[in-house]
Structure 1
């Protein structure tokens, strides 16, 4: 309980940055770090499966399975439509500076 109270007392500046662009960049960096961590975790799971199989692991079948999953994910991603806002109209041109 003590830890959660300390989190509540942390200054907002420390969590989100001193301005909007710094907060945006922090969030972007954390997202990249999280996706890298998820990728590494999935690679570790695959390696653990290989180790447990003790020579009976079928690499070609696993490769085909992963290719199918990738194609399915690409298909789902193609369906997603994201509207790109006009940052100049919203007076948030700093988002285009990167």
Structure 2
């Protein structure tokens, strides 16, 4: 495991913010992906799935190089899920 000081020195706030936003988007896309499967829309589902994997790969590549990128990844995922579920609840 990398030393924490080395990881902090290599942590880029801009990349961290991109990872955060990417994982918020993944959660939104996952909802759309699930709905498109239920509606039997193969082109939409395939596009959503491919886009999600592209964003997931971006996050994985970054946290493999520096484990500290897991922090914005987790926060983005949590907030993305929270806002999507809250929005769906408020529609009712």
- Report the TM range for the smaller structure's normalisation: 0.3 to 0.5
TM-score where L is the length of structure 1: 0.40
Larger relative contact order (CA 8 Å, sep ≥ 6): 2
Which structure's residues are more often helix, by fraction? 2
TM-score where L is the length of structure 2: 0.42
Radius of gyration: which is bigger? 1
